[in-house]
Chain A
C-alpha cells in the first residue's frame, strides 16, 4: 500500500516537473519592458506629430494642435488595423498598445471589422462601441460630474 502511494507521488512529481517545462513562462519583467518600449514610442510619435503641426502652422492654438495630433494618431492606428499590422504590434506590446489613444482606435476598428459579416447596420454600426463603450460611457458620466462639482464649488 505504502509503496503504491509512493509510486503515485513520484509519478505526480515527475508529471508536475514535465508540465513546468512545457508551460510557456509569462515573464513579467519582459512583458513590462515590451509595454514600456511600445507605449513610450507611441507617445514620442504623438509628440513628434504635435511638433510638426506646430512647425507648419505656428499660429494654431495649443488645443487645436492636440486635436489634430489625436486625429492623426487615430487615423494611422485604424489604417494599420485594417492592414493587419496593428495586431502584430499588439501581440508584443500588450498594455503599451492598448493604453494610448491608438489602442482605443484599434478596438473600435477591429470590432467593426469583425462584425462586418452581420451587415453594416446590425453588425458594424451596432458593435462599433462594443469594446470602447465602457470608456466612452464612464468618461462622459464622470466628466459631467467633475464639471458640475467644479461649478458648484466655484459658486460657493
Chain B
C-alpha cells in the first residue's frame, strides 16, 4: 500500500516537474523570450504563489515537482521573507529571503569556485 503511494507521488513529481519545463520550452520556441527572462517569470510566479498562501497546498500534492524548478526557489525566498518579517518586524522582510535560501546559494558559490580552480572551460 505504502509502495503504491510512493510510486504515485513519484509519478506526480515527474508529471508536474516535466509539465513546468515543457511550458518553459514552449515559451522559448513560440515567443522571443530569453531563458533568463523565463527564469525570472517562473521565479515571480513562485513568489506570488507563496505570497497569497497557495504554495503550501500545491507543495503537499506535487512535492519536488514544484520545489525543484525555480518556482520553489521563489517560494522559499518569499516564505523566508514573510516568516522573518512576522518574527522580528518589518526589517526582517529584507533579510528573510536570503536567510532561507542561503544554504543552496552558499554551496553553489563555494562549489563553483572550487570547480573553477579544478577544471578549465572546454571548447563548445
Contacts and interface: CB of A to CB of B under 8 A. Distances in A.
Contact of B90 (A82, A112, A139, A151): A151
Nearest to B75: A143
Interface of B: 6, 9-10, 13-22, 24-30, 35-40, 42-44, 47-48, 50-51, 63-65, 67-70, 72-74, 76-78, 80-82, 84-86, 90, 92-94, 96-98, 100-101, 103-105, 107-109, 111-113, 115-122, 124
Candidate in A26, A51, A147 with the most chain B CB atoms within 10 angstroms: A147
A43 B43 contact: no
B21 A99 contact: yes
Given A79-B115, A113-B116, A144-B93, A131 B68 contact: no
Contacts of B21: 35-36, 38-40, 93-96, 99-100
B119 A83 contact: yes
Interface size bucket, A side? 35 or more
Interface of A: 26, 28, 31-44, 46-48, 50-51, 63, 66-71, 73-75, 78-79, 81-84, 87, 93-96, 98-105, 108-110, 112-114, 116, 120, 124, 128, 131, 134-136, 138-140, 142-144, 146-151, 154
